[in-house]
Copies of this chain bind each other. A is one copy, B any other.
């Protein structure tokens, strides 16, 4: 008979109402080919170079070497299996070990692709694609400055070249930051080029990204040829010792950053999905505490409950599951927006640039912190076992920690600009027509009749997507309105950075609320192509849960802004009673009810993410269960790697433990060899 945990996970899997494979295709649709993805991971899975088991035991130096070894092994795989560039990138990310090479692919090459002139692209891109050079991205960097600001990935050991963001100075005038290709190391022997000092910065917190060589650098009178300034947009004309040729739009050079951000949103969602898969599977296998309210003879009496059935557990985990699916969808949405913008830019049209910049800043901030925090939430939900490295969730948190960049000020500033433009427009209809997807929430100001809105009359009323979207739109609009009023009352923008945190989150949530219906579920009222009815139903529940959960988190503002009214103050005699029957309590009941509806779908949803056991690399999240057996057998199998072989363990005893115990016996005036006492037992 299989272990209980296997029976539990099988039973949970059987409860899903939809086909996980079909949903997997829906989730990947428009971003990746599921068959390709599977083929690549299978290739790596069978290659011992890509085994991940030893790394938690390794020293920093061993992990650095492991990263370099993986990079080399990867190109051997490319050559052996004749992978194309897309397949190679999939293999790089599937290797699940961030290494210097990642920076070449996500930062160095894309910047040249988007910011290099046609001639520069022709010169440099073949060298990038074939890895004749290896690059990194130094941003923002101060030539000659002593202070070391950023730790540049792949700079410590690997890179031959870097794209450096530095101020362009011409004739004493500062033309602001521009991008330059700088050779860092000799192509002959990899020694640092003249005038460049660089080194590895040492371990990062939590042993994170131990295989990435982050570097510091100092440049001293490094000359960069004019032809190395990336000049798709801005250029320097060599006449008169250099004349600046302005780009057609001031933010065109953001293209590279926008690409990196837009890629990250999708990638981050899949990182969270890994953590959520492990945690949810484990929480179905973990049983703890029998229901104390059951009497002997009742079914389940004395049987420990699956931990996932506790509200304090599922109310922490389901929001993260919903985040995965919403963030995946927004990632695809963002990638589409980026590609539309790029295509326009190629023909000189900058219409989408500001919108793409605003959306990518907002989503990046929101998704990255959501993913980092969410990973930790689902790890903690696992209790003690989540604290084992072999459970695999801690690694994801540590790796993604630096992804959590905060661009709240940019987001708030853009929102403020749109708000003022909307309000001061001579023609309101025109102003409404000019709203973009990221500012569409402002329309709620024009259409709202009077506040507070009437609350739904029942728990089910809270499940109306349009109502939830309206709440989130009004809250975003009034958040920005408050910021504008604060500025109007004489406070400076710089003093309001704390307030910008909520402004940023509120506008992003309003944007997501507006986009989700369209992006995922329906197009003109019907299910999106390829989405079956059963998959559509579960997706709708997940999206509704996401929005309702965000509304519940936004209650402070919804109440403070008067968008919703609080219940009538209770007479103290009735105490909690009136509160417990209020519309806000109905909201919480609706959230719980929806969570319980999603409950039987959860393992199916994690299956739909489509990770293999090798990809998850977790003893706690195995597809077929057997979690306790796997934990124990891994601990036993790895013993030598962990604490050394028997002889080594005996040495530790002799050298350290025995002297302590002998000292104790001496102090207590006993026979120092301990023999006497054992024999008494």
Contact = CB atoms under 8 A, between A and B. Distances in A.
A51 interface: no
Contact of A190 (B387, B395, B631, B658): B658
Interface string A658-670: 1111011101101
14 contacts: A56-B207, A57-B202, A61-B642, A69-B656, A131-B660, A187-B675, A201-B388, A204-B387, A205-B389, A205-B395, A293-B493, A387-B401, A448-B572, A561-B579
Contacts of A478: 570, 575-576, 579
B384 A132 contact: no
A540 to B, nearest CB: 23
Q: Which 7 A-B pairs have CB atoms at the shortest separation, nearest pair first?
A: A205-B394, A562-B569, A481-B576, A132-B664, A187-B674, A312-B497, A206-B206
A635 B674 contact: no
A678 interface: yes
A75 interface: yes
A652 B207 contact: no
Nearest to A311: B498
Interface in A115-150: 126-127, 130-134, 146-150
Interface string A570-606: 1110011101111010001000100000000000000
Nearest to A673: B188
Interface string A188-217: 111001000001111111111000010010
A78 to B, nearest CB: 9
Contact of A667 (B130, B189, B652): B130
A670 to B, nearest CB: 7
A560 interface: yes
Nearest to A562: B569
A243 interface: no
Contact of A291 (B494, B499, B663): B494
A336 interface: no
Contact of A205 (B187, B387, B408, B569): B387
A678 B158 contact: no
Interface in A83-136: 126-127, 130-134
A206 B394 contact: yes
Given A310-B497, A642-B61, A575 B188 contact: no
A150 B384 contact: yes
A60 B639 CA distance: 11
A486 interface: yes
Contact of A187 (B147, B150, B678): B678
A638 interface: yes
A231 interface: no
A556 interface: yes
A186 interface: yes
User: A interface, how many residues as a size bin?
Assistant: 35 or more
A186 B485 contact: no
A411 to B, nearest CB: 12
Contacts of A559: 556, 559-560, 566
From A146, A193, A213, A642, residue with most partner B Cβ within 10 Å: A642
A258 to B, nearest CB: 21
Nearest to A648: B61
Interface string A619-658: 0000000001001101110110111100011001101111
A660 B494 contact: no
A132 B667 contact: yes
A394 to B, nearest CB: 3
A295 interface: no
B134 A660 contact: yes
